[in-house]
Structure 1
Amino acid sequence: MAAGARAATALEPVLIALQLRVVGFVPIPFIDKHIHAHDGRGVFRPTEPIEHGLTKALDALRRATQPRQSLTTGKSTVMPKFTELDDHVALAGQLDEGGGPVTLVNILRVAPEDVDQLLLAWSTDAAALKNQPGFISTQLYRGIAGSSTFLNHAVWESTDHYRAARLDDGARAAARELYPASLVATPHLFRKQAVPGICVA
């Protein structure tokens, strides 16, 4: 195997990770043709020098995490990070499934010094979401013993209602500018699970 092909194969996990990475709730654009092409024999061969394509991907990642200028306050803000709770089922896939009601469980982790800022942002966000169609209830929990990890439990009439509210930038704009940069959010959707003799759905 040529050195270039070996390099492309070795870098493939890195490139896939960059392609799937989500930062600040916005997927990073990534164009495969700039990095590699499959030759039909299980080898990814570069369509341009590997270092050039990888540099483009890293530049996209860097731009996505740079401070952004707020349109309303004029201040620079850094969007919080987003991670998946389930390694096999992403939130985006859950949002495509209809039905209801549905329960959002969102784990929120911040630096200890950002707890007050998180509470301000969350309360602002919750107040806006309470006015959205399909909202039923919400409750915020905090880890004990001085933990700076929180859990948001919210119930919606349906997945469609939650998706519409989540994507309503107008209603949530003020809150999104308040969330601290240290925030790592891990949202996942649930429904009640019946277990015979224990609980009902």
Structure 2
Amino acid sequence: MPTFHEIDPATPFRQQLEADTGPIVITNTYTVPEGHMDETIAIWGKAARIGSKQPGYISAQIHRGIAGSNQLIIYSEWSAVRHLKDYLNLPEVKALVATFPSGTECRPHVWQKISIDGVCGGDS
């Protein structure tokens, strides 16, 4: 079972899941115990396949740190927080989360895109 840590203790992840907003992105940075990278990626892949079939799912990506890093970062897009919350509450997802290798650390956080003209999401 992984250990969860808050990126922003003033706004805990569970509090973020109560927001009524969208679209959103969830990121989750994983610190993976030595020798368990392939196992962790496989478990995440199973959970992502379940997510891809849920209402409100848009997309997901996973990235692995380079040069021997033990870090993974995932992000997935959802049309609304409520859809992400419904997915996280599925019994099969909870069961998969429990199978992450002991010592895995997770840092989930929910984000909303903003635009900056000429840079991102705005006019060029």
Q: TM-score when scaled to structure 2? A: 0.90
Is the contact between residue 114 and residue 182 of structure 1 (CA under 8 Å) also seen in structure 2?
no
Percent of pairs identical after alignment?
29
Which letter maps to 1:185?
C
1:161 counterpart = 2:102: no
Q: Pick the aligned partner of 1:145 from 67, 91, 94.
A: 67
- After superposition, residues 73-92 of structure 1 pair within 5 angstroms as 79-92=1-14
Counterpart-to-counterpart distance in 2, 1:176 and 1:90: 19
Match of 2:102 in 1: 181
More helix by share: 1
Larger-Rg structure: 1
Is the contact between residue 124 and residue 174 of structure 1 (CA under 8 Å) also seen in structure 2?
no
More strand by share: 2
Q: TM-score when scaled to structure 1? A: 0.57
- The alpha-carbon deviation at position 100 of structure 1 amounts to 0.8
Counterpart-to-counterpart distance in 2, 1:126 and 1:179: 14
Match of 2:27 in 1: 105
- The alpha-carbon deviation at position 121 of structure 1 amounts to 0.8
Is the contact between residue 80 and residue 181 of structure 1 (CA under 8 Å) also seen in structure 2?
yes
Counterpart-to-counterpart distance in 1, 2:93 and 2:53: 11
Which letter maps to 2:79?
E
Counterpart-to-counterpart distance in 1, 2:96 and 2:31: 17
Is the contact between residue 120 and residue 178 of structure 1 (CA under 8 Å) also seen in structure 2?
no
| Structure 2 stretches lacking a partner, 5+ long | none
1:118 counterpart = 2:40: yes
Is the contact between residue 88 and residue 94 of structure 2 (CA under 8 Å) also seen in structure 1?
no
Is the contact between residue 27 and residue 74 of structure 2 (CA under 8 Å) also seen in structure 1?
yes
| Structure 1 stretches lacking a partner, 5+ long | 1-78
Residues 160, 115 of structure 1: alpha-carbon distance in 2 compared, 3 angstrom cutoff? same
Is the contact between residue 82 and residue 186 of structure 1 (CA under 8 Å) also seen in structure 2?
yes
- The alpha-carbon deviation at position 198 of structure 1 amounts to 2.2
Aligned pairs, number: 122
Counterpart-to-counterpart distance in 2, 1:174 and 1:83: 19
- After superposition, residues 26-65 of structure 1 pair within 5 angstroms as none
